[in-house]
Structures are given as C-alpha cells and as structure tokens.
Amino acid sequence: MPKITGKYETLFIVDLTLGEEGIQSIVEKFKALIEQNGEIANVAEWGKRRLAYPINDMTEGYYVLIEFTSAPAFPAELDRVFNITEGVMRSLIVAQE
C-alpha cells in the first residue's frame, strides 16, 4: 500500500544581502507553500550563522529549519522552487523515519 503522507524536514540558507525584510519574505513564502501542500510541525529560525565554506564569496547566511508532513510527491516540487528562488543559497530536504 503506498504512503499517503510522509514526514520531512527542510533546511535552507537565505542570502543575508537581501536585508531583514527580504529574508522574512522568503521564509514566509516557503512557510505558505508548505502549508498549502501539507502541514507544518515545527519552524526553527536559526538566524545568522557562519557557513562551513564560502558560497558565492559569502561566509554567513540565515538558516531556517522546517519540519512538515506532506504527500510524497511534494518534496520534489519544493526542491524545484528552492532552486529557482533568488536569494536561497542552499537547501536540503530529508525524509524522516
């Protein structure tokens, strides 16, 4: 029997040069997108952190972790939106057990 929903978590890093309003608009955009396609369990905004290695000559980024449940097809769409969104430096989506 196929899974109806799955538990996932996503971590994404937002470019600090967007400023406070730009960062919050991106975070709200992804919260809304996930809520439309699933249910958010937890949002942890880790804030400004040093990157493990420079990305586009930047050494810091704004980290956000969101835990959610959704249909198994949604994470692929979420990843696609992360990749085309200006200001998202890196993203990762992981299925939880």
β-pair type (6-14, 58-70): antiparallel
Question: Does a structural domain hold residue 1?
Answer: no
65 closest CA partner among 31, 33, 39: 31
Question: Does a structural domain hold residue 86?
Answer: yes
Rounded Cα gap, residues 8 and 37, in angstroms: 12
Structural domain for 69, as ranges: 6-95
Task: For 1-38, write each residue's pLDDT tens digit.
Answer: 456 888 999 999 999 999 999 999 999 999 999 999 99
Rounded Cα gap, residues 15 and 30, in angstroms: 15
In this prediction the pTM is 0.91
**Contact yes or no for 68/34 (Cβ under 8 A):** yes
Percent of the chain scoring above 90 in pLDDT: 91
Give the CATH number of the domain where residue 46 resides. 3.30.70.60
The DSSP 8-state label assigned to residue 73 in this structure reads T
